[in-house]
Structure 1
Amino acid sequence: MVQLNKKDWRVKQKKSLKSYQGVNRSQEERALRQLLLQMASWKTAKRVALTLSLPFELDTQPLIKAAWQANKQVVVPQIKNQQMAFVEITPQTSYQVGPLGILEPCDVSIVQSETIDLVITPGLAFTKTGKRLGFGAGYYDRFLVNYAGPTVALALSCQIVPDLPQDKYDQRIMTILFNDHC
């Protein structure tokens, strides 16, 4: 079997995620969110890092709302000058499209990484042992190398793969939540 390089994996995974739609996906996303909400690291976190998901990614809006309902602060990544920082959002936050085509909050202040209690990490593919295939810019890997808190990824069934190519700078995710019943 020919091993795919990261670029080919990204193309394959984006296509797979975009085509995975309907009731099964909705049920799987809901089940993954419930798994996260039951985790001790979620329950004890006061400040949670999430992403503003793209249409083909697992929808993070229900998690953002759940965090606010639980009186947690929510921070999201923002890219400025080729650097990723986290900024707080609230229900009143206004947004603009950032340099990667992702919504970013307007007029916010940067949150220090050591004050983040839990990072929900995005990705295109994951192994059950914590390997992650990101989007290719390296922002999360550079952030995670200095982040000491818990990291979690929510992986749809089409995102769980047996193995992924890894480089020396790739950071593993502590916990990969996935649905064993798919």
Structure 2
Amino acid sequence: MLKAELRRTASAARRALPAAEVARRSAALLQQLQQHFEMAQWRWLHVSLPAARQHEPDTWPIIRWLWAEHPAVQVAVPVVQADGVTLRHYHLNPDTRLVESRWGIPEPVGAAEVAPAAIDAVLLPLLAFDERGQRVGYGKGFYDRFLAECRPETLRIGISLEPPVPQITDVWPGDMPLHACLTPDRVWLF
């Protein structure tokens, strides 16, 4: 399938999910993360904060669980910069003040910046992914550019409310494939 087609169909399917179903599937993503990944060796985990109006997976249960059970793992979150094409990354802790961006995404205020090279694993937002580990995001390339700045061994873990499609046919050399993807029913490894 082509990325543009996947963006349309995946966005529509996700918007059609009732809030309770998004919450149920998001809780299952946390269970998959707990069962399949050893986080003790991670110092920094990068997590996107959900845009609730887009019915994105709710990452707050993951973040709160990390704060409670793995306090040595620090959480970094992205902020889209004024240029509209760049992400910067900031430390998120329980005391961080948040404001909502124009896209409906919570963003930290006054938090310390985190360099991409410091990040050990990234939970990647996506609209769809395929059985080979290719992903489709919103089409701006934010995460591909960010992942290129991370260390080569940084884990790229997608988070998806839906299972994969067989194949995304229009990948390009700058696309950064996933190492794994969490879904409510299982973890896909690539």
- Fold agreement, TM-score > 0.5: yes
Query: How far did residue 134 of structure 1 move?
Result: 0.6
Percent identity between matched residues is 27
Residues 124-155 of structure 1: CA distance to partner in whole angstroms, max 9, x if unpaired? 00113211001111010011123221111122
Q: Which amino acid aligns with 2:147?
A: L
- Evaluate the alpha carbon distance shift between residue 41 and residue 116 of structure 1 in structure 2; reply closer, same or farther with a 3 A threshold: farther
Paired position in structure 1 for 2:10: 13
Q: Tell me the equivalent position of 2:110.
A: 107
2:145 corresponds to: 142
Tell me how far apart the structure 1 counterparts of residues 27 and 105 of structure 2 sit (CA, whole Å): 23
- After TM superposition, the structure 1 = structure 2 runs for residues 35-54 of structure 1, keeping only pairs within 5 Å, are 35-54=32-51
Alignment coverage as a number of residue pairs: 176
TM-score (norm 2): 0.83
- Unpaired runs of 5+ residues, structure 2, are none
Give distance in 1, aligned partners of 2:76 and 2:120. Answer: 11
The answer for the alignment partner of 2:164 in structure 1 is 160
| Alpha-carbon separation, structure 1, partners of 2:19 and 2:47 | 24
- Partner Cα distance (1:74, 1:154) in 2: 16
1:63 aligns to what?
62
Q: Secondary structure at the match of 1:110?
A: coil
Secondary structure, in 3 states, of the residue corresponding to 1:144? helix
Residue 88 of structure 1: SS of its match in structure 2? strand
Question: Residues 40-72 of structure 1: CA distance to partner in whole angstroms, max 9, x if unpaired?
Answer: 343421211001111201110001101111202
Structure 2 residue 28 is matched with structure 1 residue 31:
yes
The Cα shift of 1:78 comes to: 1.0
Calculate the TM-score normalised by the size of structure 1.
0.86
